[in-house]
Amino acid sequence: MEPQNPIKRTPLYDLHLELGGKIVPFAGYEMPVQYPLGVMGEHLHTRAKAGLFDVSHMGQAKLIAEGEEDAAAIFESLVPGGIQTLQEGRMRYTQLTTQTGGIRDDLMATRFGDTLWLVVNAACKHDDFAHISKALEGRATLEIAERALLALQGPAAGEVLAQLMPACADLVFMQAVWTSWPLPNGKQSVDVLISRCGYTGEDGFELSIAPEHSETLARTLLAHPDVEPIGLGARDSLRLEAGLCLYGHDIDLTTTPAEADLLWSVPKRRRTQANFPGAETLIQQIENGVAKKRVGILPEGRAPAREGTLIESPTGEALGQITSGGFGPTLGGPLAMGYVPAAFSLPDTQVHLIVRGKAQPARVVAMPFVPQNYRKG
């Protein structure tokens, strides 16, 4: 009997094997966790030059209004973000929320004319698309895009990509454009959606392309001496240093945007309108404060605190637990994030982390842990 949910492969699976990628299961896909350069080397290379990531497991779709309504205005009925005010080619981070304010998933939405381009997390994409389609039935249609997605991240990313796709040079952070890329064979050109964004804290791009041309694009980028392939291991340490949430770990159905320190993504207009799922809960938390809050934590020793590590007060009171943790190669030491009571969320608050049964001193810090280097124009 075949498994109900057989593990999938991205269009770049064979290339990962050729490059020496160590394959592991992730979000229903066989994905490279690292290459011969190693997680530390891949992390530092991305911070110094440019790293190429396969993120084709992510979900991509186009939302199209069925009537006279604007797709962005329709989508605001499901999210707390300011989508309706997006200008052409601009993108925004937001969350799909539940009626009680929990986070179904976080995602990116980009406006192109009267449509929206959505990118959601791999592990949630089928549930997300079903939820959106059902909730907006009769008002908008969701067209799932079967496309590959590559991320080129790092300070050299702009220079590298501009040699292939000059349209990227004029983009700033959270801006996107469709362009045509002439294939190296000189026989045809293909459409590529370039978004100046990413999840490393560095300048960089995400490139949406037809699956059958993704390997050609990857090989072309990897031919540049500044570009190395990067796996899931370094992707995780890079986003953690940047203070960015990983869905299913730092945010989930039990956390709200206010608790997750994501209120920057909920503009004043949406708070006033309060016409999205979970609005009542979120407004109450804004007005009265939250019981718990996501914070950055720096252990004082060298031992990393992994996910699930208990957080206690210096007097032994249980506070919460680590949701993401590890070693930060750029930072040069261990780092973590997790949830603590609001009273313990101020920077420099002392806490203890229970590592291997022993209380290790640590302190709450502001995030990101290392400076972000987005090109904001």
Domain's final residue, options 241, 276, 292: 241
Distance CA 166, CA 169 (A): 6
Claim to verify: residue 154 and residue 195 sit in the same structural domain: yes
Nearest-angstrom CA–CA distance, 3 and 334: 39
Q: Are 333 and 298 in contact (CB under 8 A)?
A: yes
Domains of the chain: total: 2
CATH code for the domain of 341? 2.40.30.110
Of 209, 241, 273, the residue at which a domain comes to its end is 241
Residues 151 and 46 in one domain: yes
Distance between CA 105 and CA 102 in Å, rounded?
9
Do 340 and 214 share a structural domain?
Answer: no
- Is 357 within a domain? yes
In terms of domains, do 296 and 181 share one?
Answer: no
* One domain, residues 184 and 39: yes
One domain for residues 271 and 357: yes
Do the strands 29-34 and 103-112 form a parallel or antiparallel pair, or are they unpaired?
unpaired
Q: From edge to edge, which strands make up the β-sheet containing 189-195?
A: 176-182, 189-195, 204-209, 148-153, 50-54, 227-229
One domain, residues 194 and 276:
no
> Which CATH number do you get for residue 51?
3.30.1360.120
pTM for this entry: 0.96
Domain extent for 325 = 263-365
Q: Please check whether residue 129 lies inside any domain of the structure.
A: no
**What is the CB neighbour count within 10 angstroms for residue 66?**
13
Co-location of 360 and 269 in the same domain: yes
Q: Long-range contact list for 287-290, CB < 8 A, 24+ apart? A: 289/342, 290/256, 290/258, 290/259, 290/342
317 inside domain = yes
- Rg, the chain, Cα only: 21
Q: Is 108 within the bounds of a domain?
A: no
Q: What is the residue-level pLDDT of the chain in tens, covering all 377 positions?
A: 444 678 999 999 999 999 999 999 999 999 999 999 999 999 999 999 999 999 999 999 999 999 888 999 999 999 999 999 999 999 999 999 999 999 999 999 999 999 999 999 999 999 999 999 999 999 999 999 999 999 999 999 999 999 999 999 999 999 999 999 999 987 899 999 999 999 999 999 999 999 999 999 999 999 999 999 999 999 999 999 999 999 999 999 999 999 999 999 999 999 999 999 999 999 999 999 999 999 999 999 899 999 999 999 999 999 999 999 999 999 999 999 999 999 999 999 999 999 999 999 999 999 999 999 999 97
Q: How big is the CA angle at 236 (ends 235 and 237), to the nearest 5 degrees?
A: 95
- 84 occurs within a structural domain: no
Other CB atoms within 10 Å distance of the CB of residue 147: 20
Write the DSSP symbol of residue 231. -
Phi/psi for 196 (5° steps) reads -85, 90
Q: Is residue 237 part of a domain?
A: yes
Q: Looking at the structure, do residues 185 and 334 belong to the same domain, yes or no?
A: no
- Asked whether residue 292 falls in the same domain as residue 165, the answer is no
The sign of the CA dihedral 214, 219, 158, 240 is positive
SS3 letters across 281-300: HHHHHHHHCCCEEEEEEEEC
